[in-house]
Amino acid sequence: METNLNMIYWKGEKFWVGKLLDRPEIMTQGKTLKELEENMKDAYILMTMDDVPPQHKIKKLSLTL
């Protein structure tokens, strides 16, 4: 399964910093932009898939606000 995410990122004093626009509570950093991207992937998996069994199903939901 492939998931596409939008990450906002910037260069801080020592590290690249980023967070996901779709999940702003997921934020991380890296010494390089490539490390930031890898750390973001790991953070996303840890925050969203930690307790989900391999045989899970996905369903799209629509909200009207």
Is residue 58 a part of any domain in this protein? no
Is residue 59 a part of any domain in this protein? no
Is residue 1 a part of any domain in this protein? no
**Cβ proximity of 29 and 7 under 8 Å:** no
pLDDT at 48: 82
pLDDT at 40: 94
pLDDT digits (tens, 9 = 90+) for 12-65: 999 999 999 999 999 999 999 999 999 999 999 888 876 777 787 888 878 787
Is residue 22 a part of any domain in this protein? yes
How many distinct structural domains can be found in the chain? 1
Q: What's this model's pTM, rounded to 2 decimal places? A: 0.71
> Which range marks the domain in which residue 37 is found?
7-48
DSSP states along 2-52 = -----EEEEE-SSSEEEEESS-TT-EEEESSHHHHHHHHHHHHHHHHSTT-
